[in-house]
Structure 1
Amino acid sequence: MPSLPVTVTPERPVLTDHPVATAEQHEHELAALELVAHPTVKAAYAAVAATWLGRAKASSAMLERFEAAFEEVMFSAAIWSSNADPLRPKVTCITRLAHEVDGLRVPGTRWGIDNPDTVYRTIPISGDERYEIRGRVGPGRMTENYFTLWDAQMGTVDVLDGRRMHVEDDGSYVITVDADPAGGRPNHVRSGPTAHELYIRDVLLDWACDDPNHIEVERLGGPTTGPERTLDEQAEAAAAMMAHFADFTGKLSHGMYKTEPNRFALAWQADHTGAMRNQVYVAGRFLLEPGQAFVVDVSDGGAEYFTVPLSNVWGTTLDIYDRTGSLNKAQSTPNADGTFTYVIGPDDPGVANWIDSDGLREGILTLRMAEFGAGGPAQDLAARGRVVDLADLDTDAAGLTDVPRVTATERAAQIDVRREGYLRRLPEGVSR
Structure 2
Amino acid sequence: MGSPISTPEQGRFERRALEVLAHPRMQAAVAELHDYWLDMIKPQPEMRASFDSKYPEVVFGAIIWSLNTDKERPAVVTISRIPHQLEGLEIPGSRWGLDNPDSVYRVIPIDGSERYVIRGRVPNPRLTENYFTLWTDKMATVDVLDGKSLHLDADGRFEIFVDSDEKGNRLDHVRSAPEAKEFYIRDVIMDWANERVNELSIERLGAPPKSPERTMDQQVDDAIAMLRLNIDNTARWNRQALDKPVNAFDFTIDRDTDGALRNQIYVMGHFQLADDEALVVDVGLGGADYFLAPITNQWGTTNDIQNRTASLNLNQSVRNGDDTLTYVVSRADPGVHNWIDPCDMPEGILTLRWAEFVTGRPGEGFGAKGRVVKLANLKNELPAETKWVSPAERADQLKVRAASYAWRVAE
| Range class of TM-score, shorter chain | over 0.9
**1:379 offset after TM fit, Å?**
2.0
* Match runs of 1:183-222 below 5 Å: 183-222=168-207
1:44/1:242 contact within 8 Å kept: no
Partner of 2:104: 119
**1:278 offset after TM fit, Å?**
2.2
Of 147, 152, 164, the match for 2:149: 164
Label 1:75 to 1:310 Cα distance change in 2 as closer, same or farther (>3 A).
same
Partner of 1:269: 254
CA distance in 1, matches of 2:327, 2:157: 39
CA distance in 2, matches of 1:135, 1:251: 35
SS of alignment partner, residue 176 of structure 1: strand
- Is 1:240 aligned to 2:219, yes or no? no
SS of alignment partner, residue 108 of structure 1: coil
CA distance in 1, matches of 2:398, 2:185: 28
Once the two structures are superposed, residues 87-129 of structure 1 have per-residue CA deviations (whole angstroms, 9 ceiling, x without a partner) of 0001000111101112110000000101000000000000121
SS of alignment partner, residue 175 of structure 1: strand
CA distance in 1, matches of 2:337, 2:208: 57
**1:401 offset after TM fit, Å?**
4.0
Partner of 2:119: 134
1:393/1:400 contact within 8 Å kept: no
SS of alignment partner, residue 149 of structure 2: coil
CA distance in 1, matches of 2:241, 2:368: 16
Partner of 2:62: 77
Aligned residues: 411
Look up the equivalent residue of 1:416 and give its one-letter code: K
CA distance in 2, matches of 1:83, 1:335: 44
1:265/1:385 contact within 8 Å kept: no
Of 321, 333, 336, the match for 1:348: 333
Look up the equivalent residue of 1:286 and give its one-letter code: F
Look up the equivalent residue of 1:336 and give its one-letter code: G
Partner of 1:411: 394
- Is 1:360 aligned to 2:345, yes or no? yes
2:275/2:330 contact within 8 Å kept: no
Of 63, 73, 77, the match for 2:48: 63
CA distance in 1, matches of 2:250, 2:229: 29
Once the two structures are superposed, residues 256-287 of structure 1 have per-residue CA deviations (whole angstroms, 9 ceiling, x without a partner) of 21111011244330111100002111110111
- Tell me, which stretches of 5 or more residues in structure 2 are unaligned? none
Of 77, 80, 105, the match for 1:95: 80
Look up the equivalent residue of 1:407 and give its one-letter code: S
Look up the equivalent residue of 1:324 and give its one-letter code: T
SS of alignment partner, residue 185 of structure 1: coil
Once the two structures are superposed, residues 223-254 of structure 1 have per-residue CA deviations (whole angstroms, 9 ceiling, x without a partner) of 22221111100100001001011111111122
**1:400 offset after TM fit, Å?**
4.0
Of 325, 328, 332, the match for 2:317: 332
SS of alignment partner, residue 189 of structure 1: strand
SS of alignment partner, residue 304 of structure 1: strand
SS of alignment partner, residue 424 of structure 1: helix
Once the two structures are superposed, residues 382-404 of structure 1 have per-residue CA deviations (whole angstroms, 9 ceiling, x without a partner) of 21111111101223xx2444311
1:166/1:186 contact within 8 Å kept: yes
Q: What percentage of aligned pairs have identical amino acids?
A: 49
Of 211, 214, 235, the match for 1:250: 235
2:115/2:205 contact within 8 Å kept: yes
**1:132 offset after TM fit, Å?**
0.7
Of 310, 321, 326, the match for 2:306: 321
CA root-mean-square deviation: 1.1
TM-score, length of structure 1 as denominator length? 0.93
Partner of 1:13: none
CA distance in 1, matches of 2:359, 2:333: 39
1:351/1:404 contact within 8 Å kept: yes
CA distance in 2, matches of 1:383, 1:121: 30
Of 391, 407, 414, the match for 2:376: 391
CA distance in 2, matches of 1:414, 1:392: 24
